[in-house]
Structure formats: C-alpha cells, structure tokens
Structure 1
Amino acid sequence: MTKRLSLELRRMAFESHDACVSCGYAFNKGDTSHLGYGNDDEPLYVCDKCAKLLKETAIRHYFMPRPYILPVPNSKLWRYMDFTKYVSLLASRGLYFTSADSFEDNYEGAKGLKNHKEKWDSHFLEFFRSAIKNPPPEYKHGLSEVEVENQASKLLADLELVGMANKQSTFISCWHESEHESEAMWRLYSSFLANAVAVRTTYESLYQSLGRDPSIYIGRVQYIDLKKSYASVNDAFWRKRKSFEHEREVRAVVHDLDCKEQGKVLTCDLDQLIEEVFVSPKAPAWFAELVTDVNKKYGVQVAVSTSELIEEPFF
C-alpha cells in the first residue's frame, strides 16, 4: 500500500462512504474497503470484488458505519445568533467552531453517567483482556494473567485520558434542522434580542461552503437516554441527552490537536453558505435595513427577511 491519499480520493471515500463506487455494493461493518487509483490514475473506493480495478492501492480500511446520520441534501438548517456574531461571520468570511471543552453542557463528549461507569469499565476491561490474549496468529502474547490484567487496566486508563483530551481537540458548529423558523431557538440562542439574526442554509450548502472538506464531518445528533445506554468511543460527540431533543441539532465537527484556543474559524464561502437571513421578531423596523447595508459592505448578496413570527393573526 502506497498511502498516497489525494484530496480527490479522500473526498470520494468520504462522500461514497457506505458503498463501492464501482458496483454499488453496500458495505457492512467489518468489510474491507479499498482506496486507490485505477489505470488512468482516477481515484477509486471499492469493495473486495472490485479491488482488481486498482492499479495502485493506497490504503485499506476496516469498514465502520458513520457515527452520525446524514441529513438529506436540501434539509434546512438554521443558526441563530446576535448581530455582533453575524458581523464577525461576514468580516472573517469564516465559520466559528467552538471547542467542545467550552460548551455549557458538561456532558459534551461524555460516554455515560458517572454512576454507571463501573459497568462501562467492566465491559472494556474484558474487551482488552480478550484482545491481549487473542492476538493475530503470527503473534504469541506469552504474558501471565497478572501482566494481562496490568496491560488491560492501562489501556482502560488511556481510553479515559483520550476521551478527556478529545474534548479539547474537538471543535463544533451547531445548527438547528427545521423546515420553519423556531420561536424556541430565538429564545435559546439569541436571548430573544432585538439585534439578533438567523442564518438559513441547507446541509448541502453548508458542506459545499466548507470546500467539501473530508476532514469536516456534518451530521445529525442522536439523543439517547443515558440511564439505559452509553455513547460509544467513536460517537460520543454525536450523542446528547434526551433532554436536548428539542434542539434537533445538526453539527459540523472538526478535530485539531494543535489548536489550544476555545474556538477556531474555518474559511467558508458565504455566498454558498447563506441562503437567507431572518431578523429577530423583536427587531425594530429599521434593523432589516441595517443588516442589508452590512451585507452590502461585506459583499454578501442575500435576501434579508422579517421574522415569520410577527405575522398578525385573525380571530
């Protein structure tokens, strides 16, 4: 294997994650996916059956399903924010990703409830013991029971340290998925301020605006009952408690071991990202004009609309 992973190949593997690009075979957990290049150096992401099409094998992967669900391409996503954050978005021409360690929810990235940790530890200790005692055929562990136990305990401790470190190296941009404007989201994420806006986009536009970057993962959060289950090692940042289910969150996630700040800005194409801007239902009449003027100043041509929530009822 050459380990030559071009951007085009990484994009193909990312976008076609679930199936072979040649025959359409749907991968199952544990299958081998092959990444490489064909006779004309075209990128290929294929199954065992189609691996013969590869002139060069870059790498093989043990297939694992995504830890999140992809929204449909045209699903509407909303980001509610105060006006200063909106201006920052325009001025930086970038999307701000917050460190998971900075979120108010201290369960961000958690695997489960502390009073259930003993059961979690027991499961992984047994998993590590089995892995140590049953290496591939060409290896023999030759370890005593005490040595096996010590190694398993060390791996468990390392797993917990990695979990804590991941909170500092994981950065998230949160969006609300809905066909319609949300009164609850105005209250939660803009404090119902008069000088607040909501940016509307779609999943596809968000993905495209970030340059189809295969290192940025975008998907739906799943809400679980931590009294009955755990988040796994790979999906901890894609699981939240049931009490947050009203958020209907879609998040973009990126990992950066080198960034030590509380957040980072990733360049994005604002013309691709912003499909429409809505002003707060508490905003005065002139505020929409101000937002329009600021958009023009930063070269963003997008519709600015008043909130649907100010429509008058009849009885």
Structure 2
Amino acid sequence: MQEMTHRLTMDLRRLSFENHDSCLSCGHAFQEGDTSHLGYGENNEPLYVCDSCSSSLKETAIRHYYIPRPYETPDQETKLWRYMDFTKYVSLLSSKAIYFTRTDCFEDLFEGAKGIRKNKERWDSYYLEFFKNAIMNPPEGYVCELSEQEIEKDAQRLLKEMEVNGEDHKKRTFVNCWHENEHESEAMWRLYSSYLANAVAIRTSYKGLYESLGRNPSVNIGRVEYIDLNKNYAGPNDAFWRKRKSFEHEREIRALLTDLKCKEKGKLIPCDLDLLIEDVFVSPHAPEWFIHLINDINVKYSIKIKVSKSQLLEKPFF
C-alpha cells in the first residue's frame, strides 16, 4: 500500500467535496466504513476513488474512512432566499462578503444541541456503553489489557470530553442561513424583516451560493433536518444540522464553516455578488421611492439586477 503524501491541493479538495459519495472511476457508491482514496494519476490529474480503483493512483495524498454527510445537499438549481433590512443589504454590497454568525450567538438556545436535558441520562448510558465496547475491542493488531475499572474510567473520560467539546464547538462554528422556496414567503417577510417597509430579499440558488463562495470545500451547504427532540437525539456530528420541529416552517438551508481561531461573534466570507444575486425584491409595504433607492444603490455597487416589488400585495379580482 502506498505511503500517503498529504499533498492536498485545492483542486483535489474540491474534487472530493463535490463527489463525496461515489468513486469517480467506477461510480461505486461509498458505504459507511469504506475507504476513499484521494490522490493523483499518471498525468498528475486529481482522482477520488474506491479501494478497487486505488491502483490507478500514482500518488496517494490521503485515505479517508468514508462517513456520509450529516446533511442533504440540495439540487443545483434549488431556489434560496435571504430576507433582511436595508442596512444589511447595503452591508452585503459594500463588503462583498456574506456574514456568518457564531452559533452561540443565535437566539435559539438549542442551536447545536444533541437533545433535551431531561433525556440526557439515556444519551450518557448509550455512549458510555459505546466507548466501553470500543476500548475492549481495539483494531486488529492491538490487545486491550485494561482492567474493568480502567475501562470504566476511560469511558467516563471520553463521555465527559464529548460533552465539553459540544459546548466548545458552538464557539468555533459559524453559520449563514437561507430559506428554501420556489416562491417568496409571507411568513419569512414577517419573521426576518419584521414586515418593515425598508426590507429586502435576495434570491439565489444552491449553485449560485456555492460558486459565489469560490467553491470553497471548507464551507458545507445543506438542508437542516427537523426532529422531535422529545423522542430523538442529534448525533455527535449532526447537531448543527438538526433543529426542533417547531422551526420546520423555516425550511432552512445553511452554509456552515468551522474556525478554531476566530474569537469574534461572526465573520465575513468574501463572495462574488454577480454569482450570488439572481433577483432582488423589496417588502410588500415598500413605497415607490424605496424601489428607486435600491436601484440607485445597486448601480453604485455595480449590481446589474433590476429590483422587483413583492407580489404579495397584487390586487385580486372576483
């Protein structure tokens, strides 16, 4: 077996990120526990392959134990909306960057939570047994020589570390949220712009968001899954992709990144506004002059998108 060189170019990282679930040579759909191989072929072209195709690698950069993503990736043309007030819209244009909020700054106290406190005893019991079994059954070639007391102590330590890491993870995880919908949403106007007359919504697509961020493999973009935390838990790797059922109306697509060094409450990630912004809409209650203002602001920042007024207040006939 080739020694890994750990030479991970951006092209190779993008290749594995965009084709996470299958071998690029034979199309094999990876299953949890499979090994995925990243490396380079005869002409130094980046490759992402399965065990059966790994012989095609002239250089192996790294091997991964394949784990499915904790989120579902939308189709490329899935429509995404972000509702905001006027100042946030101008900030987006002037900074040419998307703001990612640190997750411990969200109003939702359950952001990143794995479950409800009253059910924690069942969670602890499950993972305590999980860690004990892992310690007693080490990989091939290793022998567990620990006593029952030592195994118990090690398992308790791992359980405590997982809990501490869960709290710390909120301070190094940053999120930018979007609403998935083919049409504008009256509820989202109310919820995220307080139905203000100076509110703005921009529409993009999954492809537009991903490409506007430079196809950055460090930014994960996927659907939030809504679960009943009275009956279920979020797994250790799933917590920031799970929310309570009471938030299901949000139909959230989130962009998420991890930064171990940033101590600020949020961070700006540069984006290509021409790729990001497909349409701009103003509040159903916006006066005519506000539409002209947004058009003037767009011209100032070289945004060649015509502004439309919300269609929610179109007049019916009977």
1:39 aligns with 2:42: yes
Aligned counterpart, 1:10: 13
1:139 aligns with 2:131: no
Over residues 24-77 of structure 1, what are the superposed CA-to-partner deviations in whole Å (9 max), with x where a residue is unaligned?
111111111011100111100001111010001111111111110111111100
Paired with 1:126 and 1:17, the residues of 2 have a C-alpha distance of 31
Aligned counterpart, 2:110: 107
Aligned counterpart, 2:84: 81
1:164 aligned counterpart, secondary structure: helix
Aligned counterpart, 1:204: 207
1:155 aligned counterpart, secondary structure: helix
Aligned counterpart, 2:312: 309
Aligned counterpart, 2:217: 214
Paired with 2:263 and 2:45, the residues of 1 have a C-alpha distance of 38
Q: Structure 1 residue 227: deviation in Å?
A: 1.1
Aligned counterpart, 1:275: 278
2:155 aligned counterpart, secondary structure: helix
Over residues 218-246 of structure 1, what are the superposed CA-to-partner deviations in whole Å (9 max), with x where a residue is unaligned?
00001001111110011110000011000
Over residues 91-147 of structure 1, what are the superposed CA-to-partner deviations in whole Å (9 max), with x where a residue is unaligned?
100000001000000000000111110000011100111111111232223111111
- Conserved in 2, the CA contact under 8 Å of 1:35 and 1:44? yes
Aligned counterpart, 1:194: 197
Over residues 201-231 of structure 1, what are the superposed CA-to-partner deviations in whole Å (9 max), with x where a residue is unaligned?
0000000000000000000001001111110
1:29 aligns with 2:23: no
Query: Could you tell me the percent identity over the aligned residues?
Result: 64
Query: Which of the numbers 178, 181, 187 marks the counterpart of 2:181?
Result: 178
- TM-score, normalised by the number of residues in structure 2: 0.98
Paired with 1:305 and 1:286, the residues of 2 have a C-alpha distance of 13
1:239 aligns with 2:239: no
Aligned counterpart, 1:287: 290
Paired with 2:14 and 2:239, the residues of 1 have a C-alpha distance of 24
Tell me the amino acid that sits aligned with residue 124 of structure 1.
Answer: Y
2:51 aligned counterpart, secondary structure: coil
1:105 aligned counterpart, secondary structure: coil
After superposition, residues 113-132 of structure 1 pair within 5 angstroms as 113-132=116-135
1:97 aligns with 2:100: yes
- Conserved in 2, the CA contact under 8 Å of 1:14 and 1:214? yes
1:180 aligned counterpart, secondary structure: coil
Over residues 135-167 of structure 1, what are the superposed CA-to-partner deviations in whole Å (9 max), with x where a residue is unaligned?
123222311111111111010000011111111
Paired with 2:228 and 2:134, the residues of 1 have a C-alpha distance of 29
Q: Which moved more, 1:103-112 or 1:135-144?
A: 135-144
2:215 aligned counterpart, secondary structure: coil
1:310 aligned counterpart, secondary structure: coil
- TM-score, normalised by the number of residues in structure 1: 0.99
1:174 aligned counterpart, secondary structure: strand
Paired with 1:65 and 1:155, the residues of 2 have a C-alpha distance of 23
Unaligned runs of 5+ in 2: none
Paired with 1:306 and 1:225, the residues of 2 have a C-alpha distance of 37
Tell me the amino acid that sits aligned with residue 24 of structure 2.
Answer: V
- Conserved in 2, the CA contact under 8 Å of 1:275 and 1:303? no
Aligned counterpart, 2:169: 166
Aligned counterpart, 1:265: 268
Paired with 2:72 and 2:256, the residues of 1 have a C-alpha distance of 13
Tell me the amino acid that sits aligned with residue 18 of structure 1.
Answer: D
Paired with 1:218 and 1:145, the residues of 2 have a C-alpha distance of 43
